[in-house]
Amino acid sequence: MIAPRDLVMHELIGLEVKVVSCTNKRLEGLSGRVIDETRNILRIETLKGEKSLAKDNCTFSFHLPSGEWVRVEGSLLVSRPEDRIKKKFRKW
């Protein structure tokens, strides 16, 4: 089970995501399922196809299996997924 405070240390692939804010205002409100993740990019599957989003330009809201929505600044997610799991985070 993913706890909201531990989300940044977990695998994001498979989670529902929504873009809350972004430097590109056209991307705000975009939602879908995370299908891939690299160091700087989050790829999501939307109803209109795949979209690649720069992590550091956006604020995301992730839907956890428990039913909760958790808002995360994309800058906290900038690193390779396997490195982010090992990283120590201050309380965010």
Does 92 map to a domain?
no
The SS3 call for residue 35 is: strand
Q: Extract the tokens encoding 82.
A: 């396997």
Does 31 map to a domain?
yes
Q: What is the pTM of this model?
A: 0.88
Q: Give the residue numbers spanning the domain of 19.
A: 4-84
pLDDT at 61: 98
Evaluate whether 35 touches 13 at the Cβ level (below 8 Å).
yes
pLDDT at 81: 82
Q: In whole angstroms, what is the distance from residue 18 CA to residue 24 CA?
A: 14
CATH number, domain with residue 15: 2.30.30.210
Does 89 map to a domain?
no
pLDDT digits (tens, 9 = 90+) for 28-83: 999 999 999 999 999 999 999 999 999 999 999 999 999 999 999 999 999 888 88
Whether residue 91 has pLDDT greater than 70: no
pLDDT at 88: 64
pLDDT at 26: 94
